[in-house]
Structures are given as structure tokens and as C-alpha cells.
Amino acid sequence: MIGNPDFLTGRGQDQAPELQELDSPEGELHLRFFVASGAEFALPATGIREVIAAPPDRITPIPNVSPLLLGTLNVRGRVIWVADLGQFLGDSTSLSTDRTEISVVAVEDQDAMLGLAVDRIIGMDWLDIDDIQMPSNLPDSMVPFLRGEWAKAGEADRNLILLDQVAILRSARWAA
């Protein structure tokens, strides 16, 4: 088989003579998710280190830290802080830890890593950055952590909000 010249060129009886073209996605890859209040957000895939489904008992509470922080999580020997993203962004609804797993999105910038606990992960989508708009009708406390939003077709009151993970990671709110 390997001595056959058709093997090296990729031509054989079972292949069609024309090449199939793959559809190339438009835009950039993003992770979409919901926070406890039901608001939908996205983060660029390039800033995400990993997504973890952690049992609540693996998140160790730490006393005398910001109330936004749920605790720490040991991921393959590396300890990362885990925060309730919804509360960080100003939502009054806190994330329920009374469940079998908590979805944690670990974001990273340089040597800093932070786990953002979210209510539910939708999945990965290719989103066109050119279609992004400036946020409207959002609390001023949330604006420094946003890059913009996409208007969802047919849902005037519900937009997909793009977060800036570096601004979240470097925020002074973690010291409060």
C-alpha cells in the first residue's frame, strides 16, 4: 500500500476528483453563557484558559475576602480564585451553589488567572465583531467591563453582551 504512488498523492479509487471546500466561519470564536439573573454574555475564546464543571465542595471558601469571591479552586495543582460573575457585574441575584456542578470559566491575562462562576454555559459560537454596537440601557457599574453588544434578532429587550476579560481580571473591585 505505501509503495503505491497514489497513496502519497492522496489519489485513490475512493476519492472524488474535485476537492470539497469547507465553509469558513465568519467572525471570531466566543463562549456564550448566562449569569444567575438570566442575562446572556459572551467572552472571546482567545482569553479563556479553560471551562471547568466543578462540584461546589471543591470550591474552598476563604474568610475576610471580597463578597464577590466564592473561594478558591485547585485545578491540576494551580489554585485559582472563583468569583460570581453576575454579582461582580452588579446583578442582585447571586449564583446558586445548591447544585451538583458549578460552571467556571477560567480567564487568563499574562500570569493572572481568575475563575468566573456562571449559571449556565450555552456553547461556542462564531460572532462577527463588525456587528457589535455600543451598549445601551446597562448599569454604569457594568460599562467598564464591556466591549459592546450584539442585538439579537427578534428580541429587542435581550442582547448578547461581550465582556472584556482583561478589564474584569484587573479590576480594583476584587480588593473591596
Q: Is residue 140 part of a domain?
A: yes
Alpha-carbon 123 to chain mean position: 9
- pLDDT (tens digit, 9 = 90+) per residue, 92-113? 888 988 899 999 999 998 888 9
Predicted pLDDT of residue 176:
58
Q: Is residue 23 part of a domain?
A: no
Question: Cell 458549578 belongs to which residue?
Answer: 102
Q: Single out the residue of 128, 159, 165 nearest to residue 145, CA to CA.
A: 165
pLDDT-based confidence at 6, cuts 50/70/90?
low
CATH code (residue 164): 2.40.50.180
Q: Is residue 115 part of a domain?
A: yes
- pLDDT (tens digit, 9 = 90+) per residue, 120-133? 999 998 988 888 88
pLDDT average, residue stretch 60-73: 91
Q: Is residue 10 part of a domain?
A: no
Please check the confidence at residue 43 and state whether its pLDDT lies above 60.
yes
Question: What range defines the domain where residue 67 resides?
Answer: 28-125+132-175
What is the number of structural domains in the chain? Answer: 1
